[in-house]
Structure 1
Amino acid sequence: MNYEFFIAKRIIKAKQYKSSVSATIIKIAIAAIAIGIIMMMVAIATGMGLQKTIQKKVSTFNGHIQISNFDNNNSEVSLMPLDVNQEFYPEFTDVSGIQHIQAVAIKAGIIRTEKTFEGVLAKGVGADYNWTAFEDFLTEGRFPNVSEKRENREVLLSAYMARRLELKLGDTFKTLFLKEDTSEIPNERTFEIVGIYDSGFQKFDANVMLVDIRHIQRMNKWRNGEVGHFEVFIDDFNEINEKTIEIYNSIPSNLDTQSVISKYPFIFEWISLFDVNIFLIIGIIIIVGGINMITALLVLILDRTPMIGVLKSLGSSDWSIRKIFLYNAAYLIGVGLLWGNIIGIALVWTQHTFGFLKFPNPEQYHTSIIPIHIEVWHIIALNIGTLVLCVLMLLLPSYIITKISPVKAIKFQ
C-alpha cells in the first residue's frame, strides 16, 4: 500500500473528517453524484426502452425486411403476385441470423356498418404467420385460425377501429373490396371478430385488420401458391442494414428488398434523436457532478491546509499530496455511485416490473406505459465513465496545493 492511499484512508476514517465544517458540503457532493447517476440511468433506460418498443411495434406489423417484386407501387396494397415456391422459403438458410420468414398479402377495403364506415387494409396471413409478437397487443379474444383447410371469416380487429365502428368481440360486419376494374361490382366479404388488439401505434391500429390470406388470393384471382410479399425477421435489429444487403444478394434478380427503416424513415429518424438527448443529459449531469466535486475538493484542501504544510515540510512532493486528495475525492465519488446505483436500479426494476409511470399523452409516443430497457454493460460503462471523468476534472483544481506555502500553512494551524 503506498503512503498516499494510506493517508487518504486515515483521513476518511477520522472522526474529525465526519464532523468538520466541510462535512455538509461533502454530503451535498455525494448526493449530487448519487442523483446524477440515477438520472443518467433513468435517461438511458427510458430512451432505449422507447426505441426498442417502437422498433418492435413497427416490425411486428411489417417484419424487419420485406421481399417483394420490383414494381412502382408505393402503396401498402399488394398488386403483383409473388410465387411462394422460392428457395429461401419457408426457411432462409443462405443468410445467417434469420429468425423467421412469412408470406402475406394486403388488400384495401371499406368496412361498412349500419351507422358508419371505415377504410381498412386487410392483411392476409397464413399458417406460417408468427403470432408471438402480437401476443403483447391482444386485449380480447384470440387469434384467427388460419391453419384450417378451409378459409374462414375470422379476423383480428384493432380496438381503435372497433370503437369507431361501434363493434365488439363476436360481432360480424361486411367489408367491400374494389376490383381492378372499378366499374365492376366490388367484392363483399362478411367477417367475424374473434380477437381485438391494441398496439398503441395509431398509424397501424387505424388501418390494419388481419384476415385469412385465402380471401385476398380469391379476390385477386391468384393461385393458392401466390402471395403479396414476404416478411423477414432477423435476430439482431442493429444488423438490419447489413442483412438487407445480404438478403438482396441471395434472392433472385427479379425480387427486391426493403428494410423497415427505409420504409418508415421519419419514425426511425425521430427515435434516433433519443440518442442525442441521452448523451446531452449525461454530459450535463457529469459536468454538474464534477463541479460539485471540485467544490468539495477545494473545501477539503482548505480544511486540511495545516496537514498539507506538514507533509510538504517532511519532503512530500506536490503531486504526492495531490494524489492524497484525489484518492479522497474518488472515494466520495464511489460512495455517491454506490447509493445512486442502488436507488437507480431499484427504480428501473420497479418501473420495468410494475409500469407505474405512464405517459400523459400516449398517442404521441405510441405507448401508454413508459418502457424500460437497460443492459448490464450500460450500467458498468456509466459508472466507470462517471468516475474517470469526474476524477480528471479534479486534476486542475488540485493544482492549488502547489501554491500552498509550508510555513504559512503551519502558521495557519
Structure 2
Amino acid sequence: MNYELFIAKRIIAGKEYKNSISSPIIKIAIVAIALGIVIMLIAVAIASGFQLKIRDKIAGFKGHIQITNYDNNNSDVSTVPIDINQDFYPEFKTIDGIKNVQVFANKAGIIRTDTDFEGVVLKGVDEAYDFSFFNEYLVEGRLPNFNQERNREIIISKSVANRLQLHLNDSIQVWFSAENSKVPFKRRKPIVVGIFKTGFEQFDNTIVLGDIREVQRLNGWTENQVGGFEVLIDDFDTLKQKGNEIYSNIGATLNSTTITDQYPAIFEWIKLFDNNVWFIIAIMILIAGINMITALLVLILERVQMVGILKALGSQNWSIQKIFLYNAGYLILQGLFWGNLIGIALLLIQHFFKVITLNPETYYVSTVPVNFNIFHILLLNVGTLILCLIMLIIPSMIIAKIHPSKSIKFA
C-alpha cells in the first residue's frame, strides 16, 4: 500500500482542506495553471495553424518544388519552354514521397473592362493538375472543363472579380503580349466559370487559372512544350531533402527551386512564430510554478503538526515530501483539466465560427487559423505537469527543517 498517496487523498478529501486559510491560495494556483495551459494551447494551435495555412496556400499556387528552364531567371512568366518528354514526368520513379508532378505555363496579361483594367498572370494547367486546393477555396461556380477541344474557361479570384465587377459566365477581354508575332498584342475572350478566394492577396490579386493549351497558342509553342513542372510532395518536413534529390535527378539545363527558396521572407516570418511560442510557454510554466510553490509552502506550514507526528512515527523526509507532492500534483491536474476544457472550447469556436478575422494583405489569411494536434496537446500537458512537480521538489525540502518535538509542542 502506498501510504503517502493514501494520506494525500485523505488531506484532499478532508473538509478542513477546503475551508482552511490556504484555500484561496490553492484556488489562485489552480486558476494560474488553467490560464497558463489555455494561453499555451492557443499560442501553439494558432502558430501551427498559421504555418500550415500559409505554406499550404503557397504550395497550392506554386507547388512544393518547381522545375523550370534556367533561362527563365526565376520569373513568374514562362518565356523559354521545356519539352514535356522528361524522365521524371508524369512521375518520379527514382524518388519516393512524390505526390504529383504537373505541368504549367504562365502568361502575363491585362483584363480590360469598360471602366477598368487589371494586370494578371494566366496560369495554364491540364487535366492532370491537382485541383484539390482550388476546390477547397472555390466560392462560386466550378472548375474549367478540360475535356473540350478549345477550352476558353477560366477561374478568377474574388478580389479581382470585385474590383472589375465580374460575375459568373461573363465573357471578358484579356490582352497578352505577342513576342513572336507580327502584332504586338493578342486578345482573348475567356469565360469566367468559377471564383475562388484563398485570402492570400499576393496571389489572389494576380493568378487566373485556365487551360495550358491557350498559353501554348499565345506563345506559339507546340503541344509538347510547357513552362515548367510543379512537384507536390507527401511530407513538407522533407522539402529540403526532396528538393536536393530532384535537383540531382533532372537535366543539366533545368533548375529546381523549393517554395522556401522562392519566398524566403514569408517562411522566415512564419518561423518567428516558433520563437514566440517557446517564449510564451516558458513564461506560463514559470508563473504556474511560482504559484504552485506558494501554495505548497502554505500547505506545509498549515500542517506542521502533522509533519511532526509523521516524523515521530518514523517517516522519512522524502516520504513526507511525497505526500505534499501528490497533493500538489492533484492541484496541477485540476488546473490542467479546466485549462484544457476552456482552451479547446475557445479553439473550436474559432475553428468553426471564424470569430477573429485578420487583414489578409498583412497576414496572408482572412481569419485566425487553428491547427489541432493531439501530440502538441499531450506534450503541453505532460510537460507542464512534470516541470511544475520538478520545481516543487526543492521547496518541499523545507520539511527537513521541521523538528518533531517543536512542531508537536507548537500545536
Shorter-chain TM range is: over 0.9
TM-score by length of 2: 0.96
Deviation per CA, 1:341-381: give whole Å up to 9, x if none. 233233333332x2342224343222222211121111111
Displacement of 1:61? 0.3
Residues 36 and 289, structure 1, Cα contact 8 Å, conserved in 2: yes
Q: CA deviation at 1:23?
A: 1.5
Aligned residue for 2:71, secondary structure, equals coil
> 2:372 is matched with which residue?
374
1:151, distance to aligned residue in structure 2 (A): 2.1
Q: Report the residue type matching 2:325 in the other structure.
A: L
Q: AA paired with 1:247?
A: I
Is 1:383 the counterpart of 2:388? The answer is no
The equivalent residue for 1:128 is 128
The Cα shift of 1:194 comes to 0.9
Bigger mean CA deviation after superposition, 56-65 or 394-403: 394-403
Q: State the distance in 2 between where 1:395 and 1:182 align.
A: 81
Q: CA offset at residue 181 of structure 1?
A: 6.0
2-structure distance, mates of 1:277, 1:227: 43
| 1:144 paired residue number | 144
Does the CA contact (< 8 Å) of 1:355 and 1:369 recur in 2? no
- For 1:275, the aligned partner's letter is D
Shift of 1:74: 3.1
The offset of 1:408, in angstroms, is: 2.3
The match for 2:37 is: 37
| Alignment map for 1:147-296 (pairs within 5 Å) | 147-148=147-148, 150-180=149-179, 184-296=183-295
Task: Give 1:255's aligned amino acid.
Answer: L
Structure 1 spans left out of the alignment, 5+ residues: none
| Candidates 393, 396, 399, aligned match of 1:398 | 396
Farther off after superposition, 132-141 or 223-232: 132-141
Contact 2:180 2:219 in 1 (8 A): no
Instruction: Work out the CA distance in 1 between the residues paired with 2:182 and 2:30.
Output: 76
Structure 2 residues not aligned, in runs of 5+:
none
- Contact 1:170–1:194 (Cα < 8 Å) also in 2: yes
**Secondary structure in 2 matching 1:169:** coil
What is the aligned partner in structure 2 of residue 12 from structure 1?
12
How many angstroms does 1:72 deviate by?
A: 5.4
Provide the rounded CA distance (Å) in 2 between the counterparts of 1:316 and 1:26.
Answer: 26
Instruction: Give 1:207 shift.
Output: 0.7
Q: After superposition, where does 1:31-70 map in structure 2 within 5 Å?
A: 31-70=31-70
Deviations 1:62-111 (A, max 9, x none): 00011112225232111111111112111222211111111000011111
Paired residues of 1:198 and 1:205 also in contact (CA < 8 A): yes
Q: Distance in 2 between matches of 1:49 and 1:299?
A: 41
Query: Secondary structure of 1:396's match?
Result: helix
Deviation string for 1:317-354 (max 9, x for gaps)? 222222211111111111211222233233333332x2
How far apart, CA to CA, are the structure 2 residues paired with 1:259 and 1:412? 73
Amino acid in the other structure paired with 2:150:
E
Taking the aligned partners of 1:254 and 1:266, their CA distance within structure 2 comes to 27
Partner-residue secondary structure (3-state), 1:71: helix
Secondary structure, counterpart of 2:179 in structure 1: coil
Q: TM-score, normalised by structure 1?
A: 0.95
Large movers: runs of 4+ above 3 Å: 181-184
Instruction: Indicate the residue corresponding to 2:344 in structure 1.
Output: 345
Compute the displacement of 1:183 (Å): 8.1
The one-letter code of the counterpart of 1:6 is F
Distance (Å, rounded) in 2 between the aligned partners of 1:74 and 1:251: 17
**Distance in 2 between residues matched to 1:378 and 1:18, nearest whole Å:** 33
CA drift at 1:182: 9.2
Distance in structure 2 (CA, Å) of the matches to 1:214 and 1:80:
16
C-alpha contact 2:72 2:78 (8 A) present in aligned 1: no
Taking the aligned partners of 1:361 and 1:119, their CA distance within structure 2 comes to 22
CA contact (8 A) 2:109 2:121 kept: yes
Distance 2:12 2:354 in 1: 40
TM-superposed CA distance for 1:202, in Å, is: 0.7
Partner Cα separation in structure 2 for residue 85 and residue 16 of structure 1: 82
